[in-house]
Structure 1
Amino acid sequence: MSFIAIERVLCGWPRFCRKLIITSRSLTSDLWRALVKQPGAAENVGKPGMELGWRSCFGIHVSLSKASVVYVGHRRYSTYEKTSTQILTKLFPQTSEEPNDEESRERRKLEEEEELKEMERAWRRMKLGFGLFGIGGLLFSFWAIYYFGKPALDEQGNEVIDEFSRLPPVKQYMWRTWQSVNHFQRFIQEPSSQKLLPEPLQAPYVQPSYTLVLEIKDVLVHPDWTYETGWRFKKRPGVDLFLKECAKYFEIVVYTAEQGVTVFPLLDALDPNGYIMYRLVRDSTHFVGGHHVKNLDNLNRDLKRVVVVDWDRNSTKFHPSNSFSIPRWSGNDNDSTLFELASFLSVLGTSEIDDVRDVLQYYNQFSDSLSQFRENQRKLSEQMHAEELGKTSKSRPVVKNWTRGFISH
């Protein structure tokens, strides 16, 4: 079919629908005339052998043997006509063909008045809902001020004197409520304890020289969810070797913003040998600006010997000089980041550096810290190899060589 034919069909479709509606109306009106206006129709209703004739808009003569059949047909057609006309009138008001008589205008007026009344009833219900909500909120506010603002009681039931006891009663309740709100806000934003880790081990116990703080999500494991299996966690290649090597030089701590109900069973399965010494979860973080930040000041460790490995710089923005960023793992099987990271941390641990922040700041200036570490290791290896060759190929003194040759001759 060509584009011209398609265009003709689309353009002629509204005209065809209009003709169809007019035809249905003509059929129903002719049927009604045949039933009502034909002489003797009322007397012949129900009599056998009597026929009523009528002509449609197509010019086809139809004979019916019973007037009851004609009435049923008219009722069905009139119902369909009314429904279709109402739908088309609402969708396309400009194509409405309803009669513009007094009865139609009165019906439309009644419908508009009914819609206005329904809108007024809906508006009254909405105002009533807002009023009840406001009254409920006001009553809850008074209850909260009374509950959180009342003075504390001792064991004997006497009021405890505080810094607000000398103020008027209303101000006392207001200030105590405000203090409770601030305390709750600090409880959400600040860590649960000022010392997240215990004191370092004393002799004869061995305390590692450095502390390694690890993020678990997308550093050690990667979460994956499907309809069939739900949540699953994929272990990053090299995790076992990484934890084993780092445990020789570092006190390993997992510090994450995830919930403990997820982290603890996951670490039990990930680290059966117990290389990870401490586990810190969301309640140990500092919530600032919509991010859970790891506040290293609460670790109870010397920050000169703390290394944080994470892919998110916002989580360590309080102490960027202690962080070592690595690429975020997305679950690929050919990843080798942990092998390279184990080499870097092993070199750092065996170097006995007093302040690791100097080394970390040097590598943080590069976009790919591990690539730069590999490059530095390659240069150092070439330099050591060249020095070793220089030592082995160093010739003996010329005088001694000439004397030995002269004597031998």
Structure 2
Amino acid sequence: MESSIITQVQKEDSVLPSKPGQVKRSSPKKPRSRSIFGALLCCLRSQDAPPPPPAAPDSLLPTEENGMVGKSDLLQTLRYQFYQIPGTCLLPEVIPQDEGKMCVVIDLDETLVHSSFKPINNADFVVPVEIEGTTHQVYVLKRPHVDEFLRRMGELFECILFTASLAKYADPVTDLLDQEGVFRARLFRESCVFHQGCYVKDLSRLGRQLSKTLILDNSPASYIFHPENAVPVVSWFDDLEDAELLHLIPVFEELSRAEDVYAGLGQLRAP
């Protein structure tokens, strides 16, 4: 199925209402067209994904009511401890030029680009993708100011691409998008955790300090395990006047100077 190659949200579900204390960002504009990928699977859901593992019975885990840590906190702690064992984390060692920098995990679809199997006249890239022996053309639009944004992010952070799309699509798109080699590593769908029907990007598996790790993503489901590490971004489809990435540059410049991501995001979200 074509749409399972690319993980995207539907346009009508893409704009999230602003919440008190949210990091300031540009106001979203209404997309001009609803024809692109109208039948895509919703919210990172895939029919061919493996079923999630059975949850442990609550009775086997300590609870907050008895004064101990809650189930979700315990599971995250165990995951983090496991992925600090050498050879088990998703990322390689930090290269010397990135020592001391925070790590930023950046999403691809609807954050940096928008892709469609339907022809787009002004597409920036056309990427051939083979599906079940047939080659399909994927038409890719770059979000306005994405080049400037990535260039600055590469100067400030250790940048990691993390997408729930398949590598056969996302890898060649990133080759064309990231001409300057900003991304130190690329993670795809197989690196996600399938949780309650969604592909979640578990930051504790990266092998980086959580207090020094940020995630930029248009889908809250992607960072449901670590919402306190997230910088939300409005989903983008085809608005050529969009300035979201341009407005996020000073936000990340300020975060790069913070002692840790929680202090930095706390200051930005303060009224």
User: With structure 2 as the length reference, what TM-score do the two structures score?
Assistant: 0.59
Partner of 1:355: 260
Q: Give the structure 2 partner of residue 196 of structure 1.
A: 90
1:363–1:226 distance in 2 versus 1, CA, 3 Å:
same
Residue 311 in structure 1 maps to residue 218 in structure 2: yes
Q: 1:270 aligns with which of 150, 174, 177?
A: 177
Match of 2:115 in 1: 223
Letter in 2 for 1:357: Y
**1:289-368 equivalence runs, <5 A:** 289-349=196-256, 351=257, 353-361=258-266, 363=268
Distance 1:359 1:216 in 2: 24
Contact 1:220 1:239 in 2 (8 A): yes
The reply on whether 1:285 has 2:179 as its aligned counterpart is no
What is the 5 A alignment of 1:165-180?
Answer: none
Matching residue's letter, 2:102: Y
Structure having the larger proportion of residues in helix: 1
Q: Does the 8 Å CA contact 2:98/2:157 hold for their aligned counterparts?
A: no
The aligned runs of 1:95-134 (5 Å cut-off) are none
- Report the structure, 1 or 2, having the larger strand content: 2
C-alpha distance in structure 2 between counterparts of 1:354 and 1:338, whole Å:
23
Q: Which has the higher contact order (CA 8 A, sep 6+)?
A: 2
Separation in structure 2 between the aligned mates of residue 228 and residue 330 of structure 1, nearest angstrom = 12
Shift of 1:206: 4.5
Runs of 4+ aligned structure 1 residues displaced above 4 Å come to 184-187, 227-230, 361-366
Residues 137-189 of structure 1 show CA distances to partners (whole Å, capped at 9, x for unaligned) of: xxxxxxxxxxxxxxxxxxxxxxxxxxxxxxxxxxxxxxxxxxxxxxx9779xx
Amino acid at match of 2:109: K
Gaps of 5+ in 1: 1-183, 367-409
Alignment CA distance shift 1:217-1:365 (3 Å): farther
- In structure 2, list runs of 5 or more residues that go unmatched: 1-49, 54-78, 122-136
Output one character per residue of 1:39-89: Cα deviation in whole Å (capped at 9) or x when no partner. Answer: xxxxxxxxxxxxxxxxxxxxxxxxxxxxxxxxxxxxxxxxxxxxxxxxxxx
- Contact residue 162 and residue 186 of structure 2 kept, 8 A: yes
**Distance in 1 between the 2:263 and 2:238 partners?**
32
Q: How far apart, CA to CA, are the structure 2 residues paired with 1:238 and 1:309?
A: 16
| Corresponding residue of 2:149 | 242
CA distance in 2, matches of 1:315, 1:342: 22
Look up the SS of the partner of 2:155 in the other structure. Answer: coil
Over aligned residue pairs, what C-alpha RMSD do you find? 2.7
- State the 1:198 CA deviation: 1.2
CA distance in 2 between partners of 1:311 and 1:272 (Å): 23
Following superposition, the deviation at residue 338 of structure 1 comes to 0.7
Bigger shift: 291-300 or 339-348? 339-348
**Per-residue displacement from partner, 1:9-59 (whole Å, max 9, x unpaired)?**
xxxxxxxxxxxxxxxxxxxxxxxxxxxxxxxxxxxxxxxxxxxxxxxxxxx
* Contact map agreement 2:110 2:235 (CA 8 A) in 1: yes
The CA deviation at 1:336 is 0.6
Residues in 1 aligned to 2:209 and 2:117: alpha-carbon distance in whole angstroms? 39
CA distance in 1, matches of 2:166, 2:138: 14
Separation of aligned partners in 2, 1:304 and 1:227: 42
* Cα distance in 2, alignment partners of residues 312 and 328 from structure 1: 8
Aligned partners of 2:98 and 2:193: how far apart in 1? Answer: 30
Aligned residues: 177
TM-score when scaled to structure 1? 0.40
Cα distance in 1 for residues equivalent to 2:236 and 2:173: 17
